[in-house]
Structure 1
């Protein structure tokens, strides 16, 4: 059986010397909303900001979740604003 995303996250966290307690699904959902609602390069950069903001607030799963939820809401507002003013990208 091959390696999984969970295996990668566990090994990456160990390499960084941290304990990973974040909700991976929530973070993936947030990056999906940002990638589609803002633009793709914003997704990994926003994930970095979420981690940085959570660490600045003492870390922990609650801080990560709160920051991810705020960024999801912001990206959704951006997408709605772009759709309403006609600036959304056309395929």
Structure 2
């Protein structure tokens, strides 16, 4: 068992969740996409938003794919300011 597995198991126990329902690779891939294509602090916020969406009934893989797609299409930022809007 890896440290990540141990952490997820302990965190799930603390929050009364089933660790079998946690897809660590999907969440990490989303966080990587946002951190590299949008901005680093957006990664944990996006993971939280993904969790909210899934908690409200969204499919995990579909919601993560939509957010990754949004990150991939995000305008390049040259000085930390958004080129969108």
Indicate the TM-score class for this superposition, using the shorter chain for normalisation.
0.7 to 0.9
Aligned partner of 2:51 in structure 1 is: 51
Q: Quote the residue 2:65 is aligned against.
A: 69
Number of residue-to-residue matches in the alignment: 79
Structure 2 residue runs of 5 or longer lacking an equivalent are: 81-85
Q: What TM-score, normalized by structure 2, do the two folds share?
A: 0.81
Change in CA separation of 1:89 and 1:76 when aligned onto 2, cut-off 3 Å? farther
1:11-90, aligned counterparts within 5 Å? 11-20=10-19, 21-57=21-57, 63-78=59-74, 81-82=75-76, 87-88=77-78
CA–CA distance in structure 2, aligned partners of residues 18 and 64 of structure 1: 15
Say which structure is richer in helix.
1
Question: 2:8 maps to which residue?
Answer: 9
Q: Which runs of 4+ in 1 moved over 2 A?
A: 87-90
